[in-house]
Amino acid sequence: MNNAEVVDALSNYQDAYYPNGIPDSVISLCELQGSTLDLKLSIGFPLGDKKEQFIESIKQSVLSLQAISSVSLTIDETVQPHLTQNNLPSLHRIKNIIAVASGKGGVGKSTVSVNLAIALGQLGARVGILDADIYGPSQSKMLNIAESTRPEFIDDKRFKPIEAYGIQSMSMGYMVTENTPMVWRGPMVSGALMQLLNQCTWNDLDYLIVDMPPGTGDIQLTLAQQVPVAGSVIVTTPQEIALLDAKKGIEMFAKTGIPVLGLVENMALHTCSKCGHQEAIFGEGGGQGLSERYQVPLLGSLPLSPKTREGMDTGMPPVAIDPDGELAETFREMARKVCALLSQRPINQKETTAQTIATDA
Ligand SMILES: Nc1ncnc2c1ncn2[C@@H]1O[C@H](COP(=O)(O)OP(=O)(O)O)[C@@H](O)[C@H]1O
Ligand SMILES: [Mg+2]
């Protein structure tokens, strides 16, 4: 047996993170001496509490090769910046921007963004969240940030993100009060988004989650043209109409060259709080169908749950409040899958040297 045969065996390994095998690019060391294998995998995404299980699973698959009797395996989870649309350089201090979007409002984009971001933080990644809903920001409420909280300014241009539940956050909601009228013209909205992104001194992020407003307006256009986005996640509910909108979302990203990393089906099953009976109130299999039709992975299905609604409305995201619960585990698994898929995209070699890129405000 030689090293090449081990590499070949790893290319046939399969799990939720490597559905098509472990690619060569992940193997940074593979040395067989006698029957002992020295293996190093640079996976480039955080496994969190699944690390031991992953190591065990890889070891078992390698040890099933007859010629190998022992293996020493190290895993490097360091996140790399990945290719963006039109090969835009990635931003200094932000390795990867991931947009969370849908065609329709009210499907749970913000809920998914916040809980996904917190879940990523729990896995050990450095995470930020940018509320791109300039007209109707919702992050301050969902993250329980007091209404009077304002970002700390470093100088007259730069300000610090606000930390909550282990993640860094920035939102128009921190800049204006509830009584400030939100009358923005298109160019101003774009400028506001770019300022929130660029003038915020993000503290070395592996991932910045951008919580998008619904539809395909100015903010989406700005994001597609000016913001280096490494990937996107589409949120949908099983209702037919929402699915039609999800298709629009997928097609919009396809047009702009931003890869759709996966779909999240929200409010899929309802569990009766009295009898535990589960029912697909809005119909079944929609997310799966959409996933097959567009060849986009289904990252997970989230239940319709009163606890989620209450938690989000009171600034207590379920993933943060009940990190050992089933929902938190579902979100962490979705987070691992998104990052694993992103890690298998090409690396972005370009980075802006400046702290910020130009804004057209
Ligand atoms: N899985 C869920 N179960 C119950 N309520 C949910 C769920 N996901 C979202 N919600 C609720 O639905 C409403 C809309 O969610 P939100 O995340 O603000 O949607 P969007 O950002 O897409 O407009 C909120 O009140 C939220 O608490
Ligand atoms: Mg929202």
Go through the chain and tell me how many residues it has.
361
How far, rounded to the nearest angstrom, does the alpha carbon of residue 292 sit from its chain's CA centroid?
Answer: 21
Query: What residues pack around ion ligand 2 (CB closer than 5 A)?
Result: 109-110
Cα(105) to ligand 1 centroid in Å equals: 9
The mean per-residue pLDDT over the stretch 295-314 comes to: 93
**One-letter amino acid identity for 307?**
K
Q: DSSP labels for 79-128?
A: ---B--GGGPPBPTTEEEEEEEE-SSTTSSHHHHHHHHHHHHHHTT--EE
- What pLDDT, on a 0 to 100 scale, did the predictor assign at position 357? 46
359 pLDDT more than 50 = no
What is d(CA 272, CA 276) in angstroms, rounded to the nearest whole number? 5
Predicted confidence band of residue 358 (pLDDT cuts 50, 70, 90): very low
State the first-to-last Cα distance of the chain, in angstroms, to the nearest integer: 61
The mean per-residue pLDDT over the stretch 246-256 comes to: 86
Q: What is the DSSP letter of 50?
A: G
Would you say the CB of residue 152 lies under 6 angstroms from ligand 1? no
Predicted confidence band of residue 136 (pLDDT cuts 50, 70, 90): confident
167 three-state secondary structure = strand
Structural domain spans, the chain: 3-76, 85-343
178 pLDDT more than 70 = no
Domain 3-76: homologous superfamily in CATH: Fe-S cluster assembly (FSCA) (3.30.300.130)
- What pLDDT, on a 0 to 100 scale, did the predictor assign at position 360? 41
- What pLDDT, on a 0 to 100 scale, did the predictor assign at position 361? 38
Would you say the CB of residue 104 lies under 6 angstroms from ligand 1? no
Instruction: Report the greatest alpha carbon distance in the chain.
Output: 73
Residue 234 phi, psi (nearest 5): -105, 130
Which one is predicted more confidently, 188 or 343?
A: 343
**One-letter amino acid identity for 216?**
T
CA distances from 313 to 148, 209, 308, 318 (A): 18, 20, 8, 11
CB 197 within 8 A of CB 130: yes
Cα(142) to ligand 2 centroid in Å equals: 10
95 pLDDT more than 60 = yes
Ligand 1 atom at shortest distance from the alpha carbon of 111:
17
Which one is predicted more confidently, 353 or 187?
A: 187
Q: Which helix (H) or strand (E) holds 265?
A: strand 260-265
In CATH terms, is domain 85-343 a member of 3.40.50.150?
Answer: no
Ligand 1 atom at shortest distance from the alpha carbon of 102:
22
Angle between helix 326-343 and 109-122 (nearest 10):
80
How far, rounded to the nearest angstrom, does the alpha carbon of residue 149 sit from its chain's CA centroid?
Answer: 26
Cα(133) to ligand 2 centroid in Å equals: 7
Would you say the CB of residue 205 lies under 6 angstroms from ligand 1? no
Q: Which two tokens stand for residue 171?
A: 């939102």
Q: Which helix (H) or strand (E) holds 288?
A: helix 286-294
The rounded percent of the chain whose pLDDT value lies above 70 is 93
What is d(CA 220, CA 73) in angstroms, rounded to the nearest whole number? 43
Q: Do the domains spanning 3-76 and 85-343 agree at the CATH topology level?
A: no
User: Where do we find the tokens 């282990």?
Assistant: 166
pLDDT digits (tens, 9 = 90+) for 117-127: 999 999 999 99
**One-letter amino acid identity for 72?**
S
pTM for the model: 0.94
User: Where do we find the tokens 């694993």?
Assistant: 340
Which ligand does the CA of 312 lie closest to?
1
Which residue CA neighbors atom 26 of ligand 1 most closely? 309
